[in-house]
Amino acid sequence: MRHARSLLFGLGLAGLMAVGAVVAQTPPDTPGAAPSSPASTLPGGPGVEAPLPIPPPEPVPDIVAAPPPPEKARAPETPAEPKAPLKRARYDVAVIQALDKVSAETIRFEAPVGQPIRYKTLVFTVRACELTAPDERAPDAMAYMTIDSQPRPAAGRPTPPPRQAFRGWMYAAAPGLNPLEHPVYDAWLITCKAAAPVRPG
């Protein structure tokens, strides 16, 4: 009996010594440090944290695109009709300038539309005279005329038949575009104008 008591006493003393050694190995808490978590006392030994249970992820709803707004009914587009070009203004009189290449004489005269006008051996007959319309890029005057070469009638001699020297359009802004080709005379258009009003007698 005495031997059993001494054995129990010895075991208790050894246990106390083991606990003291563990307490001595545990570092003291430093000021400001977080207290040891209760997880250190869980099974697995000191300093080993047990994993916390992870909650299942919440279901994320799918993104559903909003339906596009209904398109408004569009009226069928009708192509724009091209604008008709403006008509050129026509005038009653063509202003013409002529040149005698031999004598260097120049003269400016008016030729009414439809009425033959003589300059020396040339006879001018203007058929039309017009100015460009406002919607045209470059302003210009143009006249359609015929020019006949015919000497003046002489007394006692038959009048020779006329010979056509020019027929077509003349342009005031470009006199060299369709010029009169004559060995003695030259002529070109200056402008178109309205006939002067007739004064009452």
Where are the domains positioned within the chain?
Answer: 89-193
CB 110 within 8 A of CB 95: yes
Instruction: Could you list the beta-strand ranges (E) of the chain.
Output: 89-90, 93-100, 105-112, 117-119, 122-131, 141-149, 163-171, 185-193
Residue 21 has a pLDDT of 47
Residue 39 has a pLDDT of 45
CB 75 within 8 A of CB 165: no
Q: How far apart (Å, rounded) are the C-alpha atoms in residues 191 and 189?
A: 6
Residue ranges, the chain, pLDDT below 50:
1, 4, 8, 19-24, 26, 30-34, 37-42, 201
Q: How far apart (Å, rounded) are the C-alpha atoms in residues 163 and 49?
A: 128
Dump pLDDT digits (tens) for 162-174: 899 999 999 999 9
Nearest by Cα to 152 from 119, 106, 125, 185: 119
Residue 45 has a pLDDT of 54
Q: Give the global pTM.
A: 0.55
Residue 24 has a pLDDT of 46
